[in-house]
């Protein structure tokens, strides 16, 4: 692989991932980087269709089926979009990746992080981000933000507080276990402060 870089953005719902991703896209383009922004689940047509399934509040989807759907969407994204871009030397900003499944399905759904990691290792061909920016926020604040921005909460956003507490704890444990890759950002700060901090955490890659 050439000089392509995969930068993932993680955090609970309402942490500001989309806002940060947009700001980073503009900032990296201004520095002359060939960079694109994708999201998970989604980014390619097949994965976007899976996104509609897993977010539909009218559907009943079991925890194992949910984990496998996310992994399937991710496999398609890796094959169709990520590997071609990275191999061509492009930078990719990705709104969520494997860490989301470890936190949401492994911990939130209580399937076990090791089992969820295993199916995602298979799905991604063991592709790992060059850097992960983890936005940390009190789950109650994240839920408040989600409710303010959405007319209808999606299937996961409707889960109880305990679900999001488990996710936040799992993210913190993931960050402690891999500090070289996962850099923690305080998502309670103003967006421009968070963006500046994120760029600082990417400086060694730049």
Q: What is the CATH number of domain 5-201?
A: 3.40.50.300
Interval 8-60: pLDDT, tens: 999 998 899 999 999 999 999 999 999 999 999 999 999 999 999 999 999 99
Strands (E) across the chain are located at: 5-11, 35-39, 91-95, 131-136, 182-186
41 preceded by cis ω (within 30°)? Answer: yes
pLDDT in tens, 174-195: 999 999 999 999 999 999 999 9
Q: How far is CA 193 from CA 81, 170, 172, 188, 189, in A?
A: 30, 25, 21, 10, 6
Q: Is the full-model pTM beyond 0.85?
A: yes
| Residue 93 bridge partners (DSSP) | 7, 37
């Amino acid at each position: 692989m050439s000089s392509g870089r995969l930068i993932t953005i993680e955090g609970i719902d309402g942490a500001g991932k989309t806002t940060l991703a947009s700001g980073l896209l503009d900032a990296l383009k201004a520095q002359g980087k060939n960079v694109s922004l994708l999201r998970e689940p989604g980014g390619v047509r097949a994965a976007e269709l899976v996104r509609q399934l897993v977010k539909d509040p009218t559907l009943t989807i079991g925890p194992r089926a949910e984990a496998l759907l996310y992994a399937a969407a991710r496999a398609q994204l890796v094959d169709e979009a990520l590997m071609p871009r990275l191999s061509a030397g492009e930078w990719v900003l990705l709104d969520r990746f494997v860490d989301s499944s470890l936190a949401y399905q492994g911990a939130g759904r209580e399937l076990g992080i090791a089992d969820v990691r295993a199916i995602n290792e298979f799905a991604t061909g063991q592709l790992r981000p060059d850097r992960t920016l983890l936005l940390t926020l009190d789950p109650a604040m994240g839920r408040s933000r989600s409710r303010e921005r959405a007319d209808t909460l999606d299937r996961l956003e409707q889960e109880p507080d305990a679900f999001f507490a488990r996710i936040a704890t799992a993210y913190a444990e993931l960050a402690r276990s891999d500090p070289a890759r996962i850099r923690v950002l305080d998502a309670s700060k103003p967006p421009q402060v968070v963006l500046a901090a994120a760029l600082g955490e990417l400086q060694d890659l730049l």
